[in-house]
Amino acid sequence: MTEPFHLSASQAQIKFNDGSLTVEEYAKSLLSRIEARDSAVHAWAHLDPELVLQQARQLDQIPSEKRGPLHGVAVGVKDVILTKDMPTQHNSPIYDGDAPKIDAASIAVLRANGALIFGKTTTTEFAATSVGPSHKGPKTANPHDPSRTPGGSSSGSGAAVGDFQVPIGLGTQTVGSTIRPGSFNGIYAMKPTWNSISREGQKLYSLIFDTLGLYARSIDDLKLLLDTFQLVDDEPEEKFEVKGGTFALLTLPTPDWPEPGPGTAAALKKGAELLRSHGAIVEEITLGDEFRPMYKYQMQVLTGDGRVAFLPDYYTAKDKLDSYLVGHVENHGKHTRKDQLKAFDELAAMRPKLDALVDKYAAIIAPSALDEAPVGLENTGNAAFCGPWTAMHMPVVNVPGFQGEDGLPIGLSVVSSRYRDQHLLRVSREVGKIFEAEGGWTRKL
């Protein structure tokens, strides 16, 4: 029998609508799943079952004609996003127990549309280090193999959605903090176009890169979210077909970046074969030399941004701040303003150029992570493959479906130009059908 926690948010909503499931029953099922799995996965930084059930009952009492489009949709929230009824602790001892009574913009939108804000999920410190959440908090593990990292910095949301503890998760991405956990946990992960969803109330690292991230196990669920956040493309919504579509396969974003591991290399190869076997044209491309310094520039800008963003915490409690972040504030790298501006301006100049390149294709297919999730919880993995799309403000969807040499999930990034988020979702839907059916990895319950 399918228990309610197995359902995607969209599937649960069908049952809420036909009266065969209440939000309270659904919430109880999710809580039971969490209870059964939490000692292995440790996805939650804060979870108050009583609050969840109380809000679920309130949602059940809303007459059906007054229910919002996200009625009863359970959302796990990365613990760098403010929630007025729960603490927000950033996995930093500076914020132990801190609970400001304010919702982030994203949470306000979700609540106003009927979502059930479920709890807070683990993060690396301020979503700004790649040291695992085990560094200062719960030892969040990959639900598919607890000896491995779920990735980060959105560790808890990725793991919770991958483990059926909640259908939807919010993450954030400044370099690769949403897409990498998407790949490691075998789920859909979306980083929308920069600033297409308000980042207000989400811990600041970089104004120009930070983006809210979305996790789900189905494209239908992501579509629910994009519509609620009013992401509208210029172009009308038309069905996309893989047959006759043209994709760019980008094995190495720039020649300066790391080689994909064997699992990712095989996934890229198989992904291209599958698309071709379904009638698509797949062209292998590389990015020109003009894009070569992209990652270097991103890191330069990020360092300057971190210098500003962490100054308050530095003044408040330098001794409780990760040394990497202290290094930002104290400018250990001795970055000049001139270099920082050059990097900022050059990245800006690349954006329309990369848009134009990508618009020749239905989408780019690219690696999401170096390989399947590595063993160990102390480090959340390498973000290098995700950085360019963050720096370029382009929307990305991690589509799951492949597996690595040890059987852990691997996804591929599907990328389009800025503000084509709905287009990207339509492409990802069709690509996902193929990858999930024929890619070789199957999500186990």
Query: Using CB under 8 A, which of the segments 18-26, 126-134, 306-314, 363-371 binds its own copies?
Result: 306-314
Choosing from 35, 200, 237, 284, the residue that interacts with its own copies (CB under 8 A) is 200
Instruction: Select 105 or 285, whichever has its Cβ closest to its own copies.
Output: 105
In sequence order, the 6+-apart residues with CB closer than 8 A to the CB of 155 are 43, 121, 122, 123, 124, 132, 133, 140, 149, 181, 380
Taking CB under 8 A as the rule, does residue 320 contact its own copies?
Answer: no
Taking CB under 8 A as the rule, does residue 299 contact its own copies?
Answer: no
Taking CB under 8 A as the rule, does residue 305 contact its own copies?
Answer: yes
Q: Where are the beta strands (DSSP E) in 314-443?
A: 363-367, 396-403, 409-415
Taking CB under 8 A as the rule, does residue 307 contact its own copies?
Answer: yes
Query: How many chain residues are in contact with its own copies, going by CB under 8 A?
Result: 51
What does DSSP say about strands 188-191 and 211-216: parallel, antiparallel, or unpaired? antiparallel
Q: Is 20 exposed, middle or buried (0-12, 13-18, 19+ CB in 10 A)?
A: exposed
The gap from C-alpha 67 to its chain's centroid, in whole angstroms, comes to: 27
Catalytic position from the list 8, 29, 78, 130 = 78
Instruction: Select 54 or 336, whichever has its Cβ closest to its own copies.
Output: 336
Q: Write out the two tokens for 147.
A: 């000896």
Taking CB under 8 A as the rule, does residue 227 contact its own copies?
Answer: no
Is 20 in the active site? no
Is 39 in the active site? no
Taking CB under 8 A as the rule, does residue 338 contact its own copies?
Answer: yes
Is 153 in the active site? yes
CA distances from 118 to 30, 50, 177, 388 (A): 10, 11, 21, 32
Q: Write out the two tokens for 55.
A: 């809000």
CA angle, residues 43, 79, 409, in degrees to nearest 5:
40
Instruction: Select 102 or 437, whichever has its Cβ closest to its own copies.
Output: 102
Half-sphere exposure in the Cβ direction for 208 (13 Å, CA): 23
Taking CB under 8 A as the rule, does residue 195 contact its own copies?
Answer: yes
Instruction: Select 14 or 102, whichever has its Cβ closest to its own copies.
Output: 102
What is the Cα–Cα distance from 125 to 144, expressed in whole angstroms?
A: 24
Taking CB under 8 A as the rule, does residue 419 contact its own copies?
Answer: yes
Catalytic position from the list 8, 134, 177, 368 = 177
Q: Which of residues 131-150 bind its own copies (CB under 8 A)?
A: none
Taking CB under 8 A as the rule, does residue 229 contact its own copies?
Answer: yes
Taking CB under 8 A as the rule, does residue 197 contact its own copies?
Answer: yes
Contact criterion met (CB below 8 Å) for 307 and 328: yes
Taking CB under 8 A as the rule, does residue 349 contact its own copies?
Answer: yes
Strand order from edge to edge, sheet including 281-285:
44-46, 116-121, 74-78, 168-173, 211-216, 188-191, 396-403, 409-415, 363-367, 246-250, 281-285
Taking CB under 8 A as the rule, does residue 62 contact its own copies?
Answer: no
What is the Cα–Cα distance from 100 to 114, expressed in whole angstroms?
A: 22
Taking CB under 8 A as the rule, does residue 334 contact its own copies?
Answer: no
Taking CB under 8 A as the rule, does residue 100 contact its own copies?
Answer: yes
Catalytic position from the list 29, 134, 153, 428 = 153
Taking CB under 8 A as the rule, does residue 337 contact its own copies?
Answer: yes
The least distance separating its own copies from the CB of residue 204, rounded to whole angstroms, comes to 4
Taking CB under 8 A as the rule, does residue 58 contact its own copies?
Answer: no
Taking CB under 8 A as the rule, does residue 355 contact its own copies?
Answer: yes
- Candidates 431, 302, 294, 428; CA nearest to 351 is 294
- Candidates 22, 17, 20, 46; CA nearest to 34 is 46
Choosing from 109, 219, 369, 415, the residue that interacts with its own copies (CB under 8 A) is 109
The least distance separating its own copies from the CB of residue 332, rounded to whole angstroms, comes to 14
Q: Write out the two tokens for 379.
A: 């480090």
The string of DSSP letters for 118-158 reads: EEEE--SGGG---B-GGGTS----BTTBTTB---SSSHHHH
Residue numbers annotated as active site: 78, 153, 177
Residue numbers at the binding site for its own copies (CB under 8 A): 82, 84, 98-103, 105-106, 108-109, 112-113, 195-200, 203-204, 207-208, 229-230, 233-234, 305, 307-309, 311-313, 315-316, 329, 336-338, 340-341, 345, 348-349, 351-352, 355, 418-419
